[in-house]
Amino acid sequence: MNLTTSAQRALKRNLTLEDALPTRMPVYVDSVAYLFGATALMSFLLLVVTGVLLALGGPFWYHTNSVGRFLDDAHFWSVQVFFAGLIAHLATKFFLGAWRGGRWATWMVGALLFASGIFTGLTGYLLQTNWDSQWIATQAKDAMNAAGIGAIFNTMDVGQVLMLHAVVMPLVVGAGIGVHLFLIRRDSPVRPYED
Ligand code: HEM
């Protein structure tokens, strides 16, 4: 037994080809309630694309030319769509009781994604490289100290904030989304409540 064979076995045990790339869906999935997860997913992809383009020029360039301002705005509005989609997704999944039938792990990974998304948002607001972000950094520093994590996360350290926002958190959220989608495909959509 090596890592490849155990990965192959785990995948075969948990995911059929029809699970991974479904061609048919239960009829109750034909509803707007199932669009919000996809909204969050698509706006996350847009965040990554606009974020990578912003990163190409470093942390200041986008304030001083029209291409940069356009990308900065596209990144900002993707955040709004992401959180609007996420709240609608969370609420619909709550009222559908979508954690039933052993789907608690999907729910819990979702909850961790929500928390990681909020933390990523905070590091984004700290990275605006303007007076606003300096104000937020000095205020948030006190909150981090009060929470006892001021020594490992310093909101006034632009280098740390930049790495967290542009490298660490996108990888964490991206990996979490991967696990979330794997669990959803493995378990298939939850059945509606019986009347
Ligand atoms: C980055 C954030 C998230 C993304 C990209 C995402 C994406 C998705 C997608 C595409 C689906 C399948 C379509 C659907 O049922 O809507 C789904 C299902 C699900 N999501 Fe999320 N989600 C996120 C966060 C959350 C949060 C915050 C929760 C709850 C705390 C959650 C709970 C669930 C559950 C329980 C299901 C399974 C639904 C079922 O079995 O019918 N998700 N998610």
Q: Which residues line ligand 1 (CB under 6 A)?
A: 34, 36-38, 40-41, 44, 86, 89-90, 93, 98-99, 103, 106-107, 110-111, 113-114, 117, 177, 180, 184, 189-190
pLDDT digits (tens, 9 = 90+) for 80-134: 999 999 999 999 999 999 999 999 999 999 999 999 999 999 999 999 999 999 9
The pLDDT of residue 195 is above 80: no
Nearest to 165 by CA among 63, 79, 68: 79
Nearest to 134 by CA among 126, 142, 122: 126
pLDDT at 20: 87
Q: pLDDT tier at 164 (50, 70, 90 boundaries)? A: very high
pLDDT digits (tens, 9 = 90+) for 14-44: 888 988 888 988 999 999 999 999 999 999 9
Distance 192 CA to ligand 1 centre (A): 15
| Mean pLDDT of the residues in the chain | 95
Q: How far is CA 40 from CA 7, 46, 130, in A?
A: 29, 10, 28
Mean pLDDT on 139-149: 95
pLDDT at 75: 98
pLDDT at 104: 97
Distance 89 CA to ligand 1 centre (A): 6
DSSP string for 33-88? GGHHHHHHHHHHHHHHHHHHHHHTT-SSGGGSSHHHHHHHHHHHHHHHHHHHHHHH
pLDDT at 146: 96
Distance 90 CA to ligand 1 centre (A): 7
The pTM assigned to this predicted structure is 0.93
Atom of ligand 1 minimally distant from the CA of 34: 16
pLDDT at 19: 87
To the nearest whole percent, how much of the chain has pLDDT over 70?
Answer: 99
pLDDT digits (tens, 9 = 90+) for 36-45: 999 999 999 9
Distance 21 CA to ligand 1 centre (A): 17
For ligand 1, atom 39, the nearest C-alpha belongs to 189
Q: Give the Cα separation of 193 and 195 in Å (integer).
A: 6
Mean pLDDT on 6-16: 91
Q: Give the Cα separation of 182 and 105 in Å (integer).
A: 11
pLDDT at 88: 98
pLDDT at 194: 84
To the nearest whole percent, how much of the chain has pLDDT over 90?
Answer: 88
CA dihedral sign, ordered 110, 115, 121, 123: negative
